[in-house]
Amino acid sequence: MARMPSAARRRQLTEAAIRAMTRDGVARTTTRSIAAEAGVSLSVFHYCFDSKQALVESVITTITDHYVTVVREALRPRATLEDTVRAGFQAYWDHVRARPDEHMLTYELTQYALRQPGFEHLARRQYELYADTYAELIEQLRTGMDFRLSVPVPVLARYLAAMTDGLTLNYLVLGDETVWTDILDAVTAHIAGLVQSP
């Protein structure tokens, strides 16, 4: 078997961890079960990750990357800013509906990190990553569409992170798909109201 570069092996193990944690829960997922899921030896796992903290951080970052990629692709400029923002929210929402277990895992990872001594910083990093990601997406839009905001980018980014976090959890609990089109339209209109002409 050809030797896989360590970065590729880490990605393979991270994706295996996501599958195992989604199926079995974070607390019940062991390094041995992740190695088995990836089809590698336990020694390969320990070569790639020196701690469970490093693995959990990689899982959080990778899950975030999964949906940010589809949102970023959807945020290409459209006829209006409102159409563009709505397309971004729709892309995120389609990802939630297609992969609810993966999004549920993000909440479990937060709770796990908050309850494990020494892991608390990972929960903080997770939510900082959400806000940083929104700030990056807002700047991407500003560059492509030339507009000003009535609130600072960090404030809007944290607001969007909190809002989508709450909506996602609400959907995972209630599962009612019929109301989300109207909710996303309302959120889009609200965000568009924070935009000023250049």
pLDDT at position 1 is 45
Report how far apart, in Å, the C-alpha atoms of 151 and of each of 75, 154, 157, 166 are: 20, 8, 10, 21
According to DSSP, residue 28 is labeled T
| Of 157, 135, 146, 155, residue with least CA distance to 196 | 146
Where the chain has pLDDT below 70, the residues are 1-2, 197-198
Report how far apart, in Å, the C-alpha atoms of 100 and of each of 67, 96, 113, 131, 170 are: 12, 5, 20, 21, 12
According to DSSP, residue 178 is labeled G
Bridge partner list, 148: 196
Bridge partner list, 149: 195
| Of 129, 112, 195, 137, residue with least CA distance to 165 | 129
pLDDT at position 197 is 63
- The residue ranges of DSSP E strands in the chain, in sequence order, are 148-149, 195-196
pLDDT at position 86 is 94
| Of 132, 70, 131, residue with least CA distance to 98 | 70
Report how far apart, in Å, the C-alpha atoms of 14 and of each of 68, 71, 133 are: 17, 21, 20
pLDDT at position 121 is 93
pLDDT at position 2 is 53
Global pTM?
Answer: 0.87
| Of 98, 95, 125, residue with least CA distance to 109 | 125
